[in-house]
Amino acid sequence: MMGLAGEVADSVTLHPTNTSPLFIRENVLPELAVGAAKSGRAIDAVQIVANPFIAVGRTSEELNASREHYRLLLATVLSTPNYWRSLELIDREDVGPKLRELYRCGQIDMMARQIDERIMEAFVVSAAWEDLAERLRDYYDEMDVSLGINVGDCAEIERSMSRLIMELAA
C-alpha cells in the first residue's frame, strides 16, 4: 500500500499503531521511497500524516485514566494479526498471539495486563496538557510529518487544543 502511495498519492494517513517514529523510519519511508522511485517522484512529494494515540490530562489522575483507556484499546487492536508488524519492531511479537488467544477465550479483562510500559511507550504519546506540544516535538524529533490530533473526550479540549496548535506552529 505504501509503495502505491509513493507512486501516486499526495499524502498518506497512518493508523495509530503505525505512527511511531520507528515504524515510520523502518517501514513507511522505505516503502514510499520504492513507489516514488517507480514514478520518478521525490519521496517528499507525499505528505505523511501521523495519528498517534495521545493520552493527555490536566491532572495525574486524568492522565492515568487516559493511559488506561489506550492500554485497553491497544490490547484489543493488537490482538489482530494485521497489527503485529508494529509489535515485531519493538521485539514484542509474542504479545499479539497472547492477546488473540485471550480474546478468543473471552478473557477480555486479562488482555490489558499484557500491554506493559514498553508497549505503551511505543504506541502512546503521554503528557500533561501543558507539556503536550513539547512531547510531540520530542517524539517526532526531526521527522517531517503532519499530525492528526485525537485526544478523546476531555473537558480541557477546547481551551487546551488552541494553545497546543499555537505551540506546535511556533
Distance in angstroms between the alpha carbons of the first and the last residue of the chain: 33
* The pLDDT value given to residue 73: 94
Burial of 85 (0-12, 13-18, 19+ CB in 10 A): middle
Give me the pLDDT at residue 54, please: 93
Q: Domains, the chain, ranges and CATH?
A: 2-169 (3.20.20.30)
Amino acid sitting at position 158: E
Question: Taking the model in full, what pTM does it have?
Answer: 0.84
Which pLDDT tens digits describe the chain residue by residue (170 residues)?
888 888 899 999 999 999 999 999 999 999 999 999 999 999 989 999 999 999 998 899 999 999 999 999 999 999 999 999 999 999 999 999 999 999 999 998 899 999 999 999 999 999 998 899 899 999 998 889 998 887 665 555 666 666 677 777 77
State the pLDDT at residue 161.
65
Q: Determine the pLDDT at residue 154.
A: 55
